[in-house]
Amino acid sequence: MSSRDGSQMPRSAKVLLAIALFAGCAVAFFVGTPTPLSQLISVAALLVLPLALPVAVLHAWRHRASGLIRATAPFLVCLVAVPIGGSLGRVYRDLDFRYRRQPAYEKVVRKIQSGDLPAGNIKEIPPEIHGLAYMIEVHDDAPGGLMVEFFWGGGFPVKHTVYIYRASGLPPPTSPNWEFKPYCQWDGARRVNENWFADID
**pLDDT band of 41, cuts 50, 70, 90:** very high
Q: What are the residues whose beta carbons fall under 8 Å from the beta carbon of 167, sequence distance 6 or more?
A: 113, 144, 145, 146, 147, 195
Instruction: Find the range with the poorest average confidence among 85-89, 117-121, 162-166, 183-187.
Output: 183-187
Q: How far apart are CA 173 and CA 123, in angstroms?
A: 23
Asked if residues 189 and 170 have their Cβ atoms less than 8 Å apart, the reply is: no
Q: How far apart are CA 83 and CA 28, in angstroms?
A: 9
Q: What angle do CA 166, 172, 177 make, to 5 degrees?
A: 135
Asked if residues 26 and 86 have their Cβ atoms less than 8 Å apart, the reply is: no
| pLDDT, tens digit (0-9, with 9 covering 90-100), for 104-160 | 999 999 999 999 988 888 888 999 899 999 999 998 877 778 999 999 988 877 678
Length of the chain: 201
